[in-house]
Every structure is written in structure tokens, then in C-alpha cells.
Structure 1
Amino acid sequence: MPNILVIGFDPHTIPGFDPAPVAAAIEQGSKLFAELGLAEDLFLIDFAELDGRAQAELVEKLQSNSYDAVVVGGGIRKGPGLLELFQAVVNLVHWHQPDAAIAFNDSAGDSPDWVLKALEQKRNR
């Protein structure tokens, strides 16, 4: 069973943001991973911990298991002022899981689709 790490923001920690739609999409994505026989591991970053503590915790997570694919969520890529965090996350994944396919999603609910595409690309390399 392929191991998948999904990295994103904990929607409940983003100030002034309604977490319900994103939380529902995360739950939908988790159900789809299970239906596809993919073992999902969530790493949700507390939005208030962007001071480097989140990066240290991510390194611990990346070192704790071997992952076939890692998804970097849209909030980390698309949020204003988050380019430095996005770059750090991608580099940490590359350095600590060099054999993992890296996937990006449009929403938490479509993560499984992008993982399947990334795993297919990995097989065909």
C-alpha cells in the first residue's frame, strides 16, 4: 500500500477564515485515499507557527516514515506572502524524501487524483 504524506494548513488556525469547506474537502480527500488503497498521513501546519517551528516539525515527520508521494497543498502555494514557506517545504521534501513523487493539488478534495498522476509519472521515469 503506497504511503502518502499530505502537507497543508490546519484550516481551523487561519484567522478570519471559515474552516468548514476546507475541513470537508480534507475529509473527502481522506475517504478517496482510503478507497484507492493509499495510506494517507496528514501534516497540518498551524498558521500561527510559521516561525520555523512548523518546518522543524515537518522535518521530523519526513524522517519518521518513507513516503511514495508527498502532496503540498494549495494554501501553502497560493497564499499571499507564503512563497518562502512554499520553497522551504518543497526543499525539505526533496532533501528528506528524495524518492517520493511530489504532487500539488487544486483543493484538498482532489489530492488523490494528483497523487495518482504523480505516482504514474514516477513509474514512467
Structure 2
Amino acid sequence: MTAVLAIGLDPCFADFSAMPEFTPELVRAYIEAEIARVRQSGFEVDMHLIAPGANAEAGVEAALRAGSFDCVVIGAGLRDASEHFLLFEKILNLVHRLAPNASIAFNTTPADTAEAVQRWVAPGCSK
């Protein structure tokens, strides 16, 4: 089965000031529903939500070392916020170093993770 690691910013640490209709709980529910949809599409998925700070890199490193992944998805919440740019860069380099054969995909919202994975790998076909 195709193994996917989904890495994203824990919604508790996201800035929703520009989108007051969203809450961390609502975004987490969207993420969980999308991960379920990715699994229903035939992928094995591990999800790792990170908190900015000293332990973020160590947690991602542990997640990457815990399995062999065909695709790593990095969420928009981590990539798009300028205050997380350096963390995103560090995470991207960890993925490059520890999962060199994995495709790297980017979603644009919690609702298009399955499409991001499908752009790079076919379900049920590991590399």
C-alpha cells in the first residue's frame, strides 16, 4: 500500500484573525475528515501536526524515521504563514534528507490533500 505522511501546523497555533469564522476545532475536523478521505482513496496515511518551537523538528524527524513513505504532504498552514517560513524550510530539508525517494506534495487547504497526493502517486502502488 502507498504510504503517505501528512505534516501540518496544529490548528491551535494558526492565526485565524483574517478568517474569524474558523476555529482550531473546525480546522482540525476538516483535517481529520480529509485524512479519512485520503485513506478511503487507498492510501495508508500517518498524520503529524506540529507546534512551532524547539520540538517541531524533532517530532517531524521521528515521524519520518518511523516509516518509509512514498509521499510527504506539507500543509498550507505551515507553508503560507510568513511567521512559519523558517520552520517550513527546516521541515522541507528534513523531508529531503530523511525521505529522499518520497514525492513531496502540497495541499492548498485541508480539503484538497487527497488531490495533492494523487498528483504524485497512485493508490496501492508504492515506489
Out of 80-89 and 16-25, give the one that drifted further. 16-25
Is 2:4 the counterpart of 1:4?
A: yes
* Residue 21 (structure 1) aligns with: 26
State the TM-score, normalizing by the size of structure 2. Answer: 0.84
Gap regions ≥5 residues in structure 1: none
| Paired residues for 1:1-125 under 5 Å | 1-11=1-11, 13-14=12-13, 17=16, 18-46=23-51, 50-119=52-121
After superposition, give the CA deviation of every residue in 1:66-97 in whole Å (9 maximum; x if it has no partner): 00100000011101221111111111000000
Higher relative contact order (CA 8 A, sep 6+): 2
For residues 120 and 42 of structure 2, the distance between their equivalents in structure 1, rounded to whole angstroms, comes to 16
Once the two structures are TM-superposed, the CA of residue 24 in structure 1 deviates from its matched residue by 2.3
Amino acid at match of 2:89: Q
Aligned length: 117
Gap regions ≥5 residues in structure 2: 17-22
For residues 16 and 78 of structure 1, the distance between their equivalents in structure 2, rounded to whole angstroms, comes to 11
For residues 114 and 14 of structure 2, the distance between their equivalents in structure 1, rounded to whole angstroms, comes to 27
Once the two structures are TM-superposed, the CA of residue 111 in structure 1 deviates from its matched residue by 0.5
Once the two structures are TM-superposed, the CA of residue 16 in structure 1 deviates from its matched residue by 6.3
| Cα 1:63/1:22, change in 2 over 3 Å | same
Amino acid at match of 1:28: A
Once the two structures are TM-superposed, the CA of residue 20 in structure 1 deviates from its matched residue by 3.0
For residues 87 and 59 of structure 2, the distance between their equivalents in structure 1, rounded to whole angstroms, comes to 13
For residues 105 and 14 of structure 2, the distance between their equivalents in structure 1, rounded to whole angstroms, comes to 27
Amino acid at match of 2:8: G
Provide the identity percentage. 34
State the TM-score, normalizing by the size of structure 1. Answer: 0.85
Once the two structures are TM-superposed, the CA of residue 15 in structure 1 deviates from its matched residue by 6.6
